Amino acid sequence: MATGEYFNSTLQNNGVFRRELMAGWIEYQMQQVIKTNPADDDLQNNIHSNFDFGLIPSADIIDKAIDQYSVIKGKNGFAAMYPNYANRNDMDIGFSMVNNLGESDANGQFSRYSNMELPIYHLTGWWDIFIDGQISTYNNIIKNTGVKTKSNQKLVIGPWTHGTIGKDSVTDQVFPKSVFDLRIMGNLANSEDKLSEVFKGEVAAWLRYLLNYNPENFLGEPKVLIPESNLWQNLGAYDVRIPSKDYYITYADFMNFISGHKGLSAIQAEIKQGSNTMFYSIDVPADESNQAAGSQPFSNPVVPDINFAQVPNVRFYIPGPVNDGIAKNESEGNYWAGSDEFPLTKNVEDHTLFLHSNGSLNSNIPTLSEPPQNYEHNPDDPVITVGGGNLAILTPSKDRLSAGPMNYADPGLATLTMDRADVLQFETAALQSPLTIAGIPKAKIFVSSTPESTSSGETDTDFFVRILDVYPDGKEFFVVEGAVNARARDYVRSLALGNENINLPYSNINIGQTYELEFNLLPIAYCFGYEHKIKVLISSSNWPRYQSNPNLPMGNGEFFRREPKDGKSYSFNGIIMFPRKATQNLYFSPNEPSQIILPKFNGTPLAFEENEKIIDDFILDVFPNPTADLLHIQLNKSGNYNCFLYNIMGQEMLSVKINDSSQSKINLQDFPKGVYVIFVVNQKQQKAIRKVLVF
């Protein structure tokens, strides 16, 4: 399922218009229906052309469609960019109420989510365009449904963009094999032609669990029905219908037929010649040209049989250091963790980093007033978007999508998005121990804005925070970002405090006055490794992901949509105004401590962390792996050991003692299929860990 909440995740983020996603997507969709078609002369027919829009120019049609979800006011006088927009129920399930019969009702007292009593598999990625909306949708279902529905919600968050779900290669990073531990879509890696892998994946297993393998309603292996045909086909002197009886085959046989591995046998056919009727049993041979290179036939069960009752409701991948040359980082990050909630309320604590005037970033709050830092925001020369949760933004050189964890130190990108005068940079010292975060980071910054050629009056502006992981070798990978519009500051603070108040007014800021802006960044889990640094970038634009703010005051309920250098003007209180440059100030003092609050994660990996390194000549091997029954445990020296077997929830399933020996074996035949971890502890309390797949 995709998100059911679009206002705060798709239309805007903390009051800032998601320009590329909204305008770009609407433009793409509208281009399909606004072409001139002489055959279209009726509003009620099923032909779509510019006739349906009064034959106005195509560009104007697209503009009006975008304005509908940004500029045009609803019946209560507020444009769609405001949280109290009258038609917000068109965007968010949570604002579309129902009555006690479950029917749509503007005056209904019940959440539409209470109608959604059904299992849902929520699949997203940290750099997905819908990440925050997907998490919100999951939590709304948990809040408004019954116990059984709650237990059948699964939220999986991987290290992916919208277009790389289930893969290991995500723009500038290739994640370790652990990204496939859950086998969401099988092990597709960079291949898109392995159909068999899709059906080995967890998404297919989830469907099979609900439809066929659920212990409460076990139906066995799925079958495919090709129903009896009532259509007669004329073949010269003969009339034929096929199949003449319902034809059932196993799901595996059906998949083998469409993938070219196996034909269909004994399909019943009826043939008429004049008054004579004949019945035949027909074999249809396999079409081997449909076989993907290297593919193998399916067997039953086509998909793994997983007991999802034992699977945590929330599982998320924690990306970490990749090929950074630091040996200690080989076991840091890049694993799955599990929980019954997200954001987390357990195993997490605030880790605050304060920004300082000298560009440092550390845990020390300023003890004295430090000189403010400033930069000029030019609405017509914005900072260029690089990386993050984007759908169709290309890099400036147009060589690849600009999404996910991109390397800001790339010479073709650095001067456009980071190393420029309108971007402030703050950086920690090299980390002496890893820092793992999981949740929703927050920013609290103290700022002022002064447009050129004026020193008083009202204005508006935006601020952006981006967090990077600085590698020891100089690479700088995007991690997460957040945005805030100054006019929306009170509403945005209510979101950051976890209590959305849609009735808090938007108000312009006074020129030169200092304001505290507190806001959520986007959700993320991430591990900063040994010797890595954390970098924070502050700017006032991030285009084209977001609109470049014109630094103009806005009227109540209004929104001014613009593009850099488009020449548009805006009328405020009867005065025609054009976009203007502004000097932005960022403050650092005991009373104005600009800071980033990271959700430090103190939990354990989902199935613990496999340790393949030799520790004090302590070597563990397990075989066969995967196994369907016996698992042999082999150590390199005799001794006394404690062995524990855990499931993917971290629950202990079995314990075995090895006394004065170097080997043992355990029988896993009766264990549910899935991923387990064998955890062996020696007399020195040193640990060796191996993942085990039971099939």
Domains of the chain as residue ranges with CATH: 1-115 (no CATH), 117-215+305-318 (no CATH), 223-290 (no CATH), 344-555+584-601 (2.60.120.260), 620-694 (2.60.40.3080)
CA separation for the pair 357, 376 (Å, rounded): 17
Whether residue 259 contacts residue 292, with contact meaning beta carbons closer than 8 Å, is answered with: yes
CA separation for the pair 557, 84 (Å, rounded): 10
Residue 620, pLDDT score: 87
Whether residue 608 contacts residue 675, with contact meaning beta carbons closer than 8 Å, is answered with: no
Residue 43, pLDDT score: 84
Residue 625, pLDDT score: 81
29-80 pLDDT, tens digit per residue, is: 888 777 777 788 888 887 778 888 887 888 888 999 999 999 999 999 999 9
Dihedral pair phi/psi, residue 88, rounded to 5°:
-65, -20
Residue 613, pLDDT score: 43
602-656 pLDDT, tens digit per residue, is: 876 554 444 444 445 678 888 888 888 899 999 888 999 999 888 765 667 888 9
CA separation for the pair 537, 464 (Å, rounded): 8
Residue 648, pLDDT score: 62
By the 10 Å C-beta count (0-12 exposed, 13-18 middle, 19+ buried), 481 is classed as buried
The residues pairing with 104 across neighbouring beta strands, listed in sequence order, are 98
By the 10 Å C-beta count (0-12 exposed, 13-18 middle, 19+ buried), 693 is classed as middle
Q: What is the share, in percent, of the chain residues with pLDDT greater than 70?
A: 93
Instruction: Pick out the chain residues at pLDDT < 50.
Output: 190-193, 607-615
Please give the order of strands across the beta sheet that includes 233-235. Answer: 233-235, 238-241, 264-273, 276-284
DSSP E strands, 618-685: 620-623, 630-646, 652-667, 674-681
Residue 298, pLDDT score: 80
Token pair belonging to 345: 């309320």
Torsion sign, CA atoms 648, 649, 653, 659: positive
Residue 215, pLDDT score: 67
